Amino acid sequence: MSLDLETVRHIADLARLYLTAEEQARFAEQLSAILDYFAQLQTLDTTGIPPTSSVLPPRSMLRPDESRPGLSREELFLNAPQVEADQFRVPLVLE
């Protein structure tokens, strides 16, 4: 599939790119080659192949969720710049 310069200009406008005439010609050639490759891939027979999101076996990237003791109220308030009546004191937001 061959892209014309007008299509390349339109794609560049959508991407908000300024391309020189030389760049437009180069990208027209490169994008056409990419589309030709995709057209070649579409000719492959994929019947009987189940859809997959990854070729790797599924695995969790997260650590196991294990409960641990948190900070006591006293330890928590040690990090606060101001405490009043067992609460964090913050600067007034609304007057």
Alpha-carbon dihedral of residues 46, 48, 51, 56, nearest 10 degrees? -100
Do 73 and 86 contact (CB within 8 A), yes or no? yes
The pLDDT score that the predictor gives to residue 63 is 84
Q: Is residue 74 part of a domain?
A: no
Tens of pLDDT, residue by residue over 51-79, are 887 888 888 788 888 899 999 988 989 88
* Helices within 1-95 (DSSP H only): 5-14, 21-42, 73-78
On whether residue 17 sits in a domain, the answer given is yes
Query: Considering the domain boundaries, does residue 14 fall inside one?
Result: yes
The reply to whether 21 falls in a domain is yes
Do the domain assignments include residue 25? yes
Please give the Cα distance from 19 to 12 (Å, whole number).
Answer: 7
Residue 26 lies in domain: 5-42
pTM above threshold 0.75: no
1 pLDDT above the threshold of 80: no
Total domain count, the chain = 1
Residue 68 in any domain: the answer is: no
Packing angle, helices 21-42 and 5-14, rounded to 10: 100
Using one digit for the tens of pLDDT, what is the confidence trace for 3-16? 999 999 999 999 99
The 10s digit of each residue's pLDDT in 7-50 is: 999 999 999 999 999 999 999 999 999 999 999 999 999 888 88
Domain assignment present for residue 20? The answer is yes
Q: What is the CATH classification number for the domain harbouring 10?
A: 1.10.20.60
